[in-house]
Amino acid sequence: MSVMHGNSVKTLRQDLLAQRKSFAACGDDVPLKTALLSHLQDFLQKNASRLGSIALYWPIQDEVDLRGSLLTWVEEDKARRLCLPFARPDKHLDFYAWQEGDTLIPSQHGVPEPDPNNPRRAQIAPDCILIPCVGWSESMSATRHYFWRLGYGGGYFDRTLAQLRQAKPDLLCVGIGFDWQKLNDAQWQSQTHDEPLDIMLTESGIHNSAR
């Protein structure tokens, strides 16, 4: 599968989203999502000892829906917790505990968010953040791979990860996307403010950064 794009990042982003919508409309993404969710199960099992809390996302625009798999993960151990991001006015994210059935509020971008004023749902510093990708790329240094995320353009995750990693160096940041969304240097290159992903999870497997 290839992605046609113009010269700007905005055009590239629009083309990637249109392609994802097209695949979803005809059902071509179903086997890809099924395979990705299988690899998510493997990831959760392999990292069971280090993950007590996971930040997920509320799926929009044909993103992979991880909620069912993660709710099952929580049911297996009641000490585990899930949380959802809340977008602050300063374009940083806070994470609040989430349980199935919670009432959510729409963000300024129309994304369902937890209510930060809900006294029954505490703010959480997650052990792992699962981050949806519009596109992604890979680069290499002498010691490791780097995975980079092309998002929706708001910069929320980059600002948040830069801050959280200072307080929590062992934070795991996992990109969620498809192999066809992988971009080469001619299409897109990460910028100095972009935060790398520790893992890229696609339908072909769990792609780790070498450490």
What is residue 210's predicted lDDT score, i.e. its pLDDT?
Answer: 62
> For residue 17, what pLDDT band results from cuts at 50, 70 and 90?
very high
What tens digit of pLDDT does each residue of 179-194 get? Answer: 999 999 889 988 888 8
Quick one: tokens of 7? 């010269």
The type of residue at 137 is S
The DSSP bridge pattern shows strands 81-87 and 93-97 to be antiparallel
The type of residue at 153 is G
CB within 8 Å of 68: residues ≥ 6 apart: none
User: 186: burial class by Cβ within 10 Å (0-12, 13-18, 19+)?
Assistant: exposed
Average model confidence (pLDDT) across the chain: 92
Beta strand ranges found along 88-210 (DSSP E): 93-97, 105-106, 112-113, 128-132, 135-140, 145-150, 172-176, 199-202, 205-208
In the chain, the domains with their CATH numbers are 28-208 (3.40.50.10420)
Quick one: tokens of 171? 């934070």
Residues making up the annotated binding site for substrate are: 63
Q: For residue 36, how many C-alpha atoms fall within 13 Å in the half-sphere facing its CB?
A: 22
Residues making up the annotated binding site are: 63
The DSSP bridge pattern shows strands 53-55 and 81-87 to be parallel
What tens digit of pLDDT does each residue of 42-73 get? Answer: 999 999 999 999 999 999 999 999 999 999 99
Share above pLDDT 70 across residues of the chain, in percent, rounded to a whole number: 96
